[in-house]
Structure formats: structure tokens, C-alpha cells
């Protein structure tokens, strides 16, 4: 009898083991707060689905960007990966490296997500992306420094230059920036381009339709050079990551940083209440007010081994409850349209976007990845060697002709 019992027990254990479905998620949420909140979401998922054996592998943003292509072409990739909406997602979907996931939306994508997110989440007529959150960009600043120096929030370019000069004359770095990983410079480019040329021009540029040595582009860099030549940016910016550059803002050595809302993820608690933001200043009053609003979320590799488990997780992550939790914990705006802004700061960001004339993703999310890399290298080179601008634009135009031929 004892032997029979042991056999039954072993068989039962084997069946349980066979029944446990694996789920592997690779994430770029490596900053402490997003990593914590995502881990808590995964724990919530495991409570709902205890039969799933979930493994989360976390990588730094920059390492993740390099490794993702390897994973997507591997025979045994993760089942779910974090990534960016728009061209960054479509690049992989167009190469059949992603699994369509439209079937996880029981009532259709637009039942829970804005219609404006459809194009950013799809390729052809199929959905490949689950949006989790989105955020605005703005000029973040230290309220206490502005108050101490009697500085009003600038609205126009002239006012912005005056603010920079006041800060510099008082021994404060006007604008901090870390360009070690390039994309922060793309934020400056995006806003100058949208303010000088408008959003249709900006989108045509990212689509490869406008020459990089076009007069409109030269105007963008002429405005940018006003900030560079007057040394309003942090010195030696190429030595700093975006987080390291943010420390100059947090310590009060610098007063402003053009950055996404996620800057509050890394801000010390003692500084968070002293951080506010304003809309990037108006350069041409005849040009509409356009903003960058990147969308973050999840995809499934086409070669994923545990697609049922992956889709169950994606369905969970798309839910109102999961999106509300992530948004409220991090002060983000949930992609799910049924989730309200979690706090006054997020509501201010939402109001700014709703009052804008249009939005785009981000330079390196809206353009071909190879072109984006060349462009961002050019932007950083310009910030260090502004006299090379003619050569930089000539080289970027050569790259555009090669990539979009």
C-alpha cells in the first residue's frame, strides 16, 4: 500500500510539474521605481494565475536596446518583451519577428485604448503592441531657484533665452543634459524642429521625405546654436547618462532639464515637490504647439514558446486595474483610456497634451532605427562641435539617401 501511495504521489507531482506553464519576460525597467512597480504587477498576475511559473529578466535600457534584436531572431526567445510603440515596433513587425496579439482584446483595441494609439500599436491591419503608459515631455525646473531669482516661467523663445542668461549670470547651469546615450539630444532636436517647422515637416523628416540639408533643418540648428554658443548647456555632456545629468538638477547646480515625466522616477523624495515643468517655448507664433508623447508597452516575439501564457499576461497588463496601478504608483498617464490621471502633476501633463495641436512619438521612435542612430550621433556632435554643422548635415543627408533609397 505504501508503495502504491508513493507511486500515486510521484505521478501527481509530475502532472503538477507538467501543468505549470512557463512565462519568460524580458524588461528594460531597470530604474528602481519602475522595476519595483513592475515586480508588484507580476506578483499580482501570479496571484491570479498561480499555475504560471514567471521569470522576469531585467536589463538596463541601453543594453536592452542592443540585445532585443538578438532575442527576436533567436529560436528560444522570451515570451514577452517591453518596448516602444511606433516605428520602433513596426521595424520588427515588418520583418515577421513579432506575434500579432489583436485577439487578446475581446471587444477590440479601441474599446480600451484611444483611437490615436492604433497606428502606433499596429503594422498593416494587425495589432502587435500593448500600450501600458505614455508620458509627456517638458522643461523640468526647480521652482525654488526660479522663486529665489524672481524668474517667471518663459513662454516665448526670447523669454527662455533671458531666463538662461539670468541663471548663468548667477552661477547656475541653465540647462543640464547627459548625451552619453544620445537620445536626450534627440529631445532637443524634436522640440526645436516642431517649434520651427511644425509637425507635418517633422513627421516627413522622420519618414525620410525631407533632406537633412534642407533650409528648414538649417533653421533648427541656428536656434539650437544660440543655446550652444552661449554655453547654456551643461559642460562635457557626453560624459553623463541622463540620470547622472539629472543629479545637477537635483542638487541645484542646474535649473532646467528638457526631459520626459519619468525624471520623477529618479528624483530624491526631498526634491520631487520642488520639480515642475513648462511647455517648451514658442519660437514662431504661426506654428502650432506640438509635443512629444512616447508610448511604452509590451510585444510578443514571433518565436515565443509559451504564447498562451504570454497572451494571458498581455491581457492582464492591458486591464484597467493593472494600468491604473502602474500609472498611480509612478505618476504616469495610463494608456487605457478608462484610467484617469493619477495626480495633479499628471493631470497638468495631460492638460498640456490635450491643449496641444498635435503629438508625435520621439525622433528615434518615429524614424528608421539606422537613420535614428546616425541622426542622434550628428546631434551630439553638433552640440560639441557646432562649427561642423554643414558637414554634419551633409553626412546625414548621405545617410538618408542610402537608407531610404
Task: Over range 117-127, report the average pLDDT.
Answer: 91
Please check the confidence at residue 324 and state whether its pLDDT lies above 80.
yes
**359 band by pLDDT with thresholds 50, 70 and 90:** confident
Neighbour-count burial of 146, counting CB atoms closer than 10 A to its CB (0-12 exposed, 13-18 middle, 19+ buried)? buried
Contact 23, 310 (CB under 8 A): yes
Yes or no: say if 79 and 306 are a contact pair by the CB < 8 Å rule: yes
**Do residues 66 and 36 lie in contact, with contact meaning Cβ atoms separated by under 8 Å?**
no
Cα 275 to Cα 246: distance, rounded to the nearest angstrom = 12
pLDDT the model gives residue 14: 42
- pLDDT surpasses 50 at 335: yes
Using 50, 70 and 90 to split pLDDT, how confident is the model at 19?
low
Q: Does pLDDT of 192 surpass 60?
A: yes
The β-bridge relationship of strands 275-278 and 137-142 is: antiparallel
Q: Given strand 333-334, what is the order of strands in its sheet?
A: 52-58, 21-27, 80-84, 295-299, 130-134, 333-334
| Whole-number Å distance between alpha carbons of 298 and 87 | 14
- Of the chain, the percentage scoring pLDDT greater than 90 comes to 87
Dist. CA 78–CA 88, nearest whole Å: 18
pLDDT at 8 over 50: no
Q: What's the pLDDT band for 122 if we cut at 50, 70, 90?
A: very high
> What local confidence, expressed as pLDDT, does residue 142 receive?
98
pLDDT of residue 3: 52
CATH of domain 137-292+368-403: 3.40.190.10
Mean pLDDT of 21-41: 96
Distance, in Å, from the CA atom of 35 to the CA atom of 356, rounded to the nearest integer, reads 31
**Segment 52-77 mean pLDDT:** 94
Give the whole-number percent of the chain exceeding pLDDT 70: 95
pLDDT (average), residues 330-348:
94
Q: Can you tell me the mean pLDDT for 292-317?
A: 96
pLDDT of residue 13: 45
Mean pLDDT of 61-74: 93
What pLDDT shows up at residue 115?
Answer: 86
Tens of pLDDT along 201-260?
A: 999 999 999 999 999 999 999 999 999 999 999 999 999 999 999 999 999 999 999 999
Give me the mean pLDDT over the 253-268 stretch: 96
pLDDT tier at 10, thresholds 50, 70, 90: very low
Question: How many whole angstroms separate alpha carbon 311 and alpha carbon 305?
Answer: 12
Q: Of 53-62, 111-120, 217-226, 324-333, which gets the smallest average pLDDT?
A: 111-120
> Where exactly are the structural domains of the chain?
14-134+295-354, 137-292+368-403
Cα separation, 232 vs 218, whole angstroms? 20
Are the beta carbons of 329 and 345 closer than 8 angstroms? no
Region 324-342 average pLDDT: 94
Average pLDDT score over residue span 360-389 = 95
User: At residue 397, does pLDDT exceed 80?
Assistant: yes
Q: What's domain 14-134+295-354's architecture?
A: 3-Layer(aba) Sandwich (3.40)
Cell of 43: 506578483
Tens-place pLDDT, residues 131-157:
999 999 999 999 999 999 999 999 999
Grid cell of 231 as nine digits: 554655453
Q: Residue 173 forms beta bridges with which residues?
A: 254
Q: Does this chain's domain 14-134+295-354 share its CATH topology with 137-292+368-403? A: yes
Mean pLDDT of the chain: 93
pLDDT class for 62, splitting at 50, 70, 90?
A: confident
| Cα–Cα dist 279/138, whole Å | 5
Q: Are 173 and 247 in contact (CB under 8 A)?
A: no
Amino acid at each position: 500500500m505504501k508503495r502504491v501511495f508513493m507511486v500515486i504521489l510521484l505521478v501527481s507531482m509530475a502532472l503538477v510539474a507538467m501543468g505549470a506553464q512557463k512565462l519568460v519576460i524580458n524588461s528594460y525597467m531597470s530604474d528602481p521605481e519602475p522595476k519595483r512597480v513592475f515586480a508588484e504587477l507580476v506578483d499580482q498576475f501570479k496571484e491570479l494565475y498561480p499555475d504560471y511559473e514567471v521569470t522576469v529578466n531585467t536589463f538596463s535600457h541601453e543594453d536592452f536596446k542592443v540585445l532585443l534584436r538578438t532575442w527576436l531572431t533567436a529560436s528560444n526567445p522570451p515570451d514577452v518583451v517591453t518596448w516602444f510603440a511606433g516605428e520602433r515596433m513596426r521595424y520588427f513587425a515588418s520583418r515577421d519577428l513579432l506575434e500579432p496579439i489583436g485577439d487578446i482584446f475581446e471587444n477590440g483595441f479601441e474599446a480600451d485604448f484611444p483611437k490615436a494609439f492604433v497606428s502606433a500599436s499596429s503594422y498593416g491591419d494587425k495589432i502587435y503592441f500593448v500600450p501600458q503608459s505614455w508620458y509627456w515631455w517638458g522643461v523640468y525646473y526647480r521652482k525654488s531657484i526660479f522663486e529665489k531669482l524672481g524668474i517667471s516661467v518663459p513662454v516665448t523663445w526670447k523669454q527662455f533665452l533671458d531666463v538662461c542668461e539670468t541663471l548663468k549670470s548667477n552661477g547656475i547651469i541653465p540647462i543640464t543634459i547627459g548625451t552619453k546615450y544620445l537620445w536626450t539630444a534627440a529631445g532637443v532636436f524634436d522640440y526645436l524642429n516642431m517649434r520651427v517647422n511644425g509637425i507635418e515637416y517633422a513627421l516627413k523628416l522622420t519618414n525620410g521625405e525631407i533632406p537633412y540639408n534642407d533650409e528648414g533643418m538649417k533653421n533648427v540648428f541656428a536656434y539650437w546654436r544660440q543655446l550652444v554658443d552661449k554655453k547654456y548647456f551643461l559642460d562635457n555632456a557626453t560624459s553623463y547618462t541622463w540620470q547622472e545629468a539629472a543629479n545637477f538638477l537635483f542638487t541645484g547646480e542646474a535649473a532646467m532639464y528638457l526631459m520626459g515625466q519619468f525624471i520623477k522616477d529618479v528624483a530624491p523624495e526631498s526634491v520631487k515637490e520642488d520639480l515642475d515643468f513648462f511647455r517648451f517655448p514658442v519660437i514662431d507664433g504661426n506654428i502650432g504647439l506640438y509635443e512629444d508623447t512616447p508610448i511604452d508597452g509590451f510585444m510578443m516575439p514571433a518565436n515565443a514558446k509559451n504564447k498562451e501564457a504570454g497572451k494571458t499576461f498581455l491581457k492582464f497588463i492591458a486591464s484597467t486595474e493593472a494600468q491604473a496601478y502602474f500609472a498611480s504608483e509612478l505618476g504616469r498617464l495610463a494608456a487605457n483610456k478608462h484610467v484617469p490621471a493619477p495626480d495633479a502633476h499628471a493631470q497638468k501633463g495631460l492638460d498640456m497634451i490635450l491643449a496641444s495641436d498635435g503629438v508625435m512619438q520621439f525622433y528615434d521612435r518615429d524614424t528608421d532605427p539606422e537613420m535614428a542612430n546616425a541622426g542622434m550621433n550628428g546631434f551630439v556632435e553638433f552640440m560639441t562641435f557646432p562649427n561642423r554643422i554643414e558637414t554634419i548635415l551633409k553626412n546625414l543627408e548621405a545617410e538618408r539617401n542610402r537608407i531610404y533609397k
